[in-house]
Amino acid sequence: MKIKNRTAGHVYWNPYFGGFLLGIIILFTFYITGRGLGASGAMKSGVVTLVDAVSHSHAEHNAYYKTFISEDSSPMNNWLVFETLGVLIGAFISGGLSGRIRWRIQHSPKISSKRRLVFALLGGILFGLGAQIARGCTSGAALSGMAVLSTGGFLTMFGIFGAAYATAYFFRKNWI
């Protein structure tokens, strides 16, 4: 189930097969854990742990952070942390086996590496803020929501793609 990228000579999986596997993994996760996938929970656990390590008194007096801090267990002792670490490790193994790990900044010939990094950083910050406001990232809110036929999951996915299509026109010169 692989397709060949004719320009670069790389072999990639068929995206439809990858989507099918993602759907199976989400359903399997619901069956095993009773909830869907999501990466923002792992990020939240990391931030809470970092804030607690830097200033325990601030974390225990903050209404948000104190709900995740416990004497019995660490916020990092969460299956979402291990899921996200597994995804990162798997990505590096896959990239290493295929010879695609290189230190380079991919960007359009029309923009500089610095501009690409600034836009990537701003996009990451906005995505993180959006995931916090929405109480979940795209995989948690949209994909897992759609897997259980949640109206909110479908609305989230339409919102994500709608916003992407609405703003793509204004940012297209950065990528093509």
CA-to-CA separations, 138 to 5, 41, 130, in angstroms, rounded = 27, 12, 10
Q: Which pTM was predicted?
A: 0.67
The strand pairing partners of 12, in sequence order, are: 3
What pLDDT digit, counting tens, does each position of 16-35 carry? 998 898 888 888 888 888 87
Distance between CA 128 and CA 40 in Å, rounded?
Answer: 8
Q: What is the pLDDT of residues 133-159, one digit of tens each?
A: 877 777 777 888 888 888 988 998 898
In this prediction, residue 122 carries a pLDDT of 92
Helix extents (H) in 34-141: 40-54, 56-61, 79-97, 113-133, 138
Q: Give me the residues of the chain with pLDDT under 70, please.
A: 1-11, 176
- Give the residue carrying structure tokens 């793509």: 168
DSSP label of 13: E
> Residue 176 and residue 37: Cα distance in Å, rounded?
32
Q: What pLDDT score does 121 carry?
A: 93
**Both tokens of residue 176?**
């093509």
